[in-house]
Amino acid sequence: MKRIDGYKIVYIEWLDACASAGWNSIADIKSAGLAKMKSIGFLVYRDSDLVVVSSSKGIADKFGDALTIPRSNVTKLKFL
């Protein structure tokens, strides 16, 4: 398991809400489903409800582009 500045690096697959703009048929709306997302980054925090991953880390434990994902939406979490 790799660590950078003490933080684990993870690959995560998760389901996100899916939206569409404009006019859509009911069939198109029903078939849209959820967006299957994939992210890699620093594992900033996790508990029984959520996982927080950041793609950038600065000095003094400052993080950029942090992504908070509901734990129920996570389909795969792999430590790199």
Listed residue (8, 7, 27, 29) closest to 19, CA to CA: 29
Question: What is the tens place of the pLDDT at every residue in 9-46?
Answer: 999 999 999 888 899 999 998 888 899 999 999 999 99
User: Counting Cβ atoms within 10 Å, is residue 14 exposed (0-12), middle (13-18) or buried (19+)?
Assistant: buried
- Predicted local confidence at residue 32, as pLDDT: 87
The overall average pLDDT reported for the chain is 94
Percentage of the chain lying above the pLDDT 70 cut: 100
What is the C-alpha separation between 12 and 15, in angstroms, rounded?
10
State how many domains the chain has: 1
The domain in which residue 27 lies consists of: 3-79
Tell whether the model's pLDDT for residue 2 goes beyond 90: no
